[in-house]
Structures are given as structure tokens and as C-alpha cells.
Amino acid sequence: MSIDRYPPSNSSGSLQLLLFLDERTTSYIYNQEIRDKLDILNTEHSFELQVVDVGKQPDLAEHYRVIATPALLKLFPLPRQILAGSNLIDQIDNWWERWQEELLASGNATLNHDRSENSERQPDDRLLLSDSIGYVSKLIKLTDEVFTLKQEKAALLDRLKLQDRAMSVLAHDLRNPLTAAALALGTLEIIHNPQDYRANALEPATIAKLIDRARTQLQAIDRLVHDILQPLATNPGDLNLLPQKLDLIELISGVIAQLKSQFQAKSQVITSDIPQDLPLVYGDVDKLRQAISNLLDNASKYTQEGGQIHISALHRTAQTIQVSISDTGLGIPKEQQKHIFQERVRLDRDLSESGYGIGLALCQRIVRAHYGQIWVESTPGKGSVFNFTLLVYQG
């Protein structure tokens, strides 16, 4: 960008013009024609002209609300004025004398203001064109940076809200297994009173059941703590979650519609059971769409032609919603069910085709990043049910 002054002047009291052009050849022809025209119109008043390529500086065009090129903006004196259209030269002819009158009036007003003995000096509206454009460019850049920071702040606040919600769920869901384990251990403590052992003695089988109950509940606590806290131990930026409140009904309906042709190709029947009063959940809409799509795609892939696929959502507790996707497909061997969500784990039947591999591992990462749990229930030859939980949104 270059600034031309006609004639060269250091005065800020000159007509200031911006010429907006694009990459078209005709646009640059206008550039030369306008320069030639300004040479002809040159009077004792100096003016400054700056050419702006909107392709290289679209932010300036947006700031000054230029909607078509070529366009000529009178930046000073105020008020600003934009001339545009194929008859730009004629418009300059029509407005030139009035612009000079405005410039003269602006100069007189400033002079009278400076001569006022009892008035404080106010900022001068007149700026060198190079200074004003530089100011606008810096202002636009600063505005973009502030906008980016606000987005990052909002994302961080959403993640903190999601983590707070997860901690609340953890504290709530830990109560039952903790209570059961404490009761079992308390009973064992009572019967193991050396002072009255015979009076409190229980059958060995009963003692074994109490010990097994305590062990089972402690294992449940360990799994729950791991599943809830696991996302905190990894880099939260891995999945770039942008959690927000979302309508699960709308999300699931959209995924089903997206995969409709896939179900129809195999004459599969897809049904759903989702209550209309299902509360909103808290999560990243794109990541959850990906997880649900993967699970439905697998259900279709491993269900025979004419088979059935069912998706349901249950308000399981006041804090969580459980989504279940069932099929009448091949099923998964019991010994492999515990490993199916691991990275790059493939079933023997899947070696010749895609599926039940990295997709399920990704689903697990997505669900755990939302502080939920995911698991499978399956009977070989009768089908599978994939379940996962999400946190209810608390506004």
C-alpha cells in the first residue's frame, strides 16, 4: 500500500481518500483513471490517497463496510462518504467541490476552537491517512485477539464446569458402594470380637460372603474413581472438547437420519426409545455425534440383513443419562468383551474387514473425556448392547 499526496504536504488538514480495489484487471484500470482524474482536480488544497487491495486486507474493507469494488471512501473531513459503481469518475466530479467546502469548514472550525481562550484542547479529528489506517489495522488485530481470548476463556470455564459436575457425580455415586463395603467390614469386626467369639460366631460360608461383598464393592469404587478421574490425568486438549448443553434427542435423530441409507441397504429396522422429557446433557456435540455414529455404524455392520437395531436413552439417575445401542447381530465372545475398547484390539472375525477396532477405542476416549462410563453386554449369536453414560446438564 502506498500513500500519495497531491501536492506533497505534512499537513493533517487535507482531504483523505481510500480507494478499494480487488484483483480484477478492470479494477486496477480504475486505479489509474482515478489518479489521472485527481491530478486534474488538484487545487491548492492537498489531499492524500491510499489504495487498499481488499484481497490482502479484507479486514479494512469490512471495517469501513465496503461491499463492492472499486470504491472511493472520503475518510476526512467528516462525515465519511463512500462512492462506488461504474460511474465513479462522474461521482468524484459531482462531489469534489462540496468536499473542498467541507474541508475548509472543518479547518475554520478547528482554528476557532484553538483560539478559544477558556476551553481545553480536544483531540483533533484530523489524522494523517497513514496513521489512521495503521490505527484501524491495529484495532482490528486487537479486537480479533480479544475475541479469541474470550472464546478460550469460555471453553476453559465450560471444562471447569464439566469437571465440577463430574466431581459431584463421583461424590454421589461413591456413597452406595462405600456404605455396602463399610457394613460388610463392620459385621466382620463385630463377629471377630475375641471376648465373645462363640456368641458372635458365623458360619465360614457367611464370613466368606461378607468378605467377597466388601471386596466387590471396593473394586466397584476403584473402577468408578478410575473412569471419572481418568480424563484429568491425560491432556484435556487431546480431543479439544468444547462442552456445552445439548439436546440428545436432536443429536441422536440427526445421526439416525445420516445413516438411514446404510440401514436401508441391508433392510435393517432401526427403532428408538427416547422420552421427550429427557433432560439436556453436557458435552461436545461433534465428539458425541462421532461416538454415536461409530456405535450405530458397528451395529449395522455386524447385524445381518433384515436385522434390528435399537437405540434408547434412559434418565438413569438425577445426575446421569444412559444411552444404549442394541443389535441382533453376531455378538462378541465373553472372553473378548473386556478388551474390546482397547486400542487396536480386533476380534478374529474382523481381521478381513474394518470395525470393532480403533473406532471403539475412540468411543471410549470420548465418553471418558465426558466423565462417563462405557461398557458392552453381548451374547454370541444373539447380538450386543453398547451402553454409555453422560452427565445431565445443570444450568
- The pLDDT confidence band at residue 201, using thresholds 50, 70 and 90, is low
pLDDT tens string 20-38 = 888 775 666 777 787 778 7
Assess contact for 309 and 303: CB atoms under 8 A: yes
- pLDDT, average across residues 67-78: 84
Query: Judging by DSSP bridges, how do beta strands 320-327 and 269-273 pair with one another?
Result: unpaired
Q: Does residue 236 have a pLDDT over 90?
A: no
Q: How far apart are CA 19 and CA 73, in angstroms?
A: 6
227 and 263: one domain? no
- The pLDDT confidence band at residue 98, using thresholds 50, 70 and 90, is confident
Q: How far apart are CA 21 and CA 268, in angstroms?
A: 58
- Which range (15-29, 161-175, 234-248) has the least confidence? 161-175
pLDDT tens string 256-266 = 998 888 899 89
Q: What is the DSSP string of 233-257?
A: HS-TTTTT---EEE-HHHHHHHHHH
Indicate whether 142 belongs to any domain: no
Specify the pLDDT at position 317. Answer: 76
Q: Does residue 279 have a pLDDT over 90?
A: yes
Q: What is the DSSP string of 114-182?
A: HH-TTSPPPPPS---HHHHHHHHHHHHHHHHHHHHHHHHHHHHHHHHHHHHHHHHHHHHHTHHHHHHHH
Question: Phi and psi for 230 in degrees, rounded to 5?
Answer: -55, -40
Specify the pLDDT at position 311. Answer: 97
Best CA proximity match to 238, nearest among 361, 357, 373, 391: 361
Q: Which amino acid, 13? A: G
Question: 234 pairs with which residues across the strands?
Answer: none
Q: Does residue 235 have a pLDDT over 70?
A: no
Specify the pLDDT at position 136. Answer: 66
CATH code, domain with 83 = 3.40.30.10
Residue with cell string 471453553: 155
Q: What is the CA radius of gyration of the chain?
A: 36
**Strand positions, DSSP E, 281-335:** 281-283, 308-314, 320-327
Specify the pLDDT at position 211. Answer: 81
Q: If you average pLDDT over each of 7-21, 120-134, 145-159, which comes out highest? A: 145-159
161 compared with 304, residue with greater pLDDT: 304
Which residues in 348-364 are b (16+ Cβ under 10 Å) and which e?
A: eebeeeebbbebbbbbb
Q: Does residue 124 have a pLDDT over 50?
A: no
Indicate whether 164 belongs to any domain: no
Element (H, E) at 95: helix 88-115
Q: Percentages helix, strand, coil for the chain, rounded to the nearest 5?
A: 50, 20, 30
195 and 307: one domain? no
185 and 303: one domain? no
Indicate whether 59 belongs to any domain: yes
Assess contact for 129 and 50: CB atoms under 8 A: yes
Of 233, 253, 268, the last residue of a domain is 233
218 compared with 329, residue with greater pLDDT: 329
219 and 251: one domain? no
- Which range (139-143, 246-250, 325-329) has the least confidence? 139-143
Question: Phi and psi for 115 in degrees, rounded to 5?
Answer: -85, -10
Indicate whether 145 belongs to any domain: no
Q: Does residue 207 have a pLDDT over 60?
A: yes
Specify the pLDDT at position 171. Answer: 65
Burial class (CB in 10 A: 0-12, 13-18, 19+), 65: exposed
Indicate whether 198 belongs to any domain: yes
Q: How far apart are CA 368 and CA 227, in angstroms?
A: 6
Q: If you average pLDDT over each of 5-19, 85-99, 127-141, 258-272, which comes out highest? A: 258-272
220 and 256: one domain? no
Q: How far apart are CA 281 and CA 243, in angstroms?
A: 10
- Which range (63-67, 102-106, 181-185, 275-279) has the least confidence? 181-185
Q: Does residue 119 have a pLDDT over 70?
A: no
Mean pLDDT of the chain: 76
227 and 254: one domain? no
- Which range (102-106, 145-149, 318-322) has the least confidence? 145-149
Residues whose CB is less than 8 angstroms from the CB of residue 214 and which lie 6 or more positions away in sequence, other chains included: 180, 181, 184, 185, 188
Indicate whether 138 belongs to any domain: no
- The pLDDT confidence band at residue 288, using thresholds 50, 70 and 90, is very high
Q: If you average pLDDT over each of 15-29, 95-109, 135-149, which comes out highest? A: 95-109
If one counts the domains in the chain, the total is 3
CATH code, domain with 301 = 3.30.565.10
Q: What is the domain extent for residue 51? A: 3-116
Indicate whether 18 belongs to any domain: yes
Does residue 77 have a cis bond before it (omega within 30 degrees)? yes
pLDDT tens string 311-359 = 999 987 778 899 999 999 988 888 888 888 876 444 444 444 444 445 7
